[in-house]
Amino acid sequence: MALSLFQLLKEHRGHWLTIEAICHKLGRPMSDIHKKIEQLRQMGHQIESMPLYGFRLVEGGDILSAELIEYDLGTQRVGRKVVVYESTNSTNDVAWQYSQENGSDGLAVFAEYQNQGRGRFRRSWWSPPGSSVLCSVLLQDVSFIKSSEGGRQDRNEQVSLTLLAGLSVAEAIEKVCSVKPQIKWPNDVTARGRKLAGIMVESRKVGERVCYVIGMGINCLQAREEFEPQIREVAVSLGELTGRKVDRLSLSQELLRRLDYWLGCMEENDKQSQQRLHDEWLRRCGEIGQRLTLISDGHSYSGRVVDISVEQGLLLQLDNGSIRVFDTVTTSVERG
């Protein structure tokens, strides 16, 4: 009942609900409501009370908990089990700890703080406690790439997972926060030309199968001065963009829903699903037609972006006229 009460208060966030109205909505006596209010407060939720007005959830008073993220989530695969840590080294590391346990497919790991968060190529990812959505999803069974074998299939699946994760992040942000972000190849989600979120997909052989962990970080509540000086001019948060508190709980749930949706589409193994992913991703990419310099296997390549392959990566028309494909696993963008 505590979860139902929280959802009711959340739906009326910032507005008072009388105890009589709450009892009527939930069909429970006043004594039960008071007990559950205290339970929610002990969980860390900020709930105000006044004798004449009743109760209200304080704006921006969200905390993340497994029970609340799982509540009314409605996914088929992603988030069937959710764990939330107040602090951990890395949500990706936690997800890998579960990778040898049967039945952990779709596990979603959240943390309020990471002290060793990382991005691609061992770059660090840091944010103040409680300021971001930091999530990793474990996939123990991925089978939507049928055209390749061995290591190439693993790499192609990792490319596809990076693309669909980026699209899922962008769609979740757009729905919950009314911000229209862009996707910057290979793994950034941006707004106003600054980095809003990042994605990192890792793969490992676990027993006889290849498992994947999708790590995602979304800047939510950081003020500009809270970013480290070296990234202050290139990073941005949803709070800075919108000028208001971000509902991290709703954003976390929507992120899992969109990821679950696109994974389901890709598991159908048809060209139509791949085309939908391609079109939706491309619609949010602002780099088509632009010149990029990419670093792959220690070599530098410059050219114009012409398209994206859901299985293989970015298509770049090089200065000599030839078209080359660059995957998201081994390639980085040379920034000026």
Q: What pLDDT was estimated at residue 286?
A: 86
Q: What pLDDT was estimated at residue 72?
A: 86
| Class of the domain covering 2-57 | mainly alpha
β-bridge mates for residue 309, sequence order:
313
Dihedral sign (CA 56, 70, 64, 170): negative
Interval 83-107 mean pLDDT: 95
pLDDT band at residue 121 under the 50/70/90 scheme? very low
Integer Cα distance of 278 and 7 in angstroms? 35
Please give the share of the chain, as a percent, with pLDDT higher than 70: 92
Residue type, 120: R
Does domain 291-333 fall under CATH 3.40.1350.10? My reply is no
Could you please state the CATH topology (level 3) that the domain comprising 66-283 is classified under.
Answer: BirA Bifunctional Protein; domain 2 (3.30.930)
Per-residue pLDDT reduced to its tens digit, 37-89:
998 888 777 889 998 899 998 865 567 889 889 988 999 999 999 999 999 99
Q: Mean pLDDT, the chain, as a whole number?
A: 89
Per-residue pLDDT reduced to its tens digit, 217-276:
999 999 999 888 888 899 999 999 999 888 899 999 999 999 999 999 998 877 888 899
Per-residue pLDDT reduced to its tens digit, 271-320:
888 899 999 999 999 899 999 999 998 899 999 999 999 989 999 999 99
Q: How many angstroms separate the Cα of 318 from the Cα of each of 97, 123, 131, 290, 326?
A: 42, 28, 41, 12, 12
User: Which sequence spans correspond to the domains of the chain?
Assistant: 2-57, 66-283, 291-333
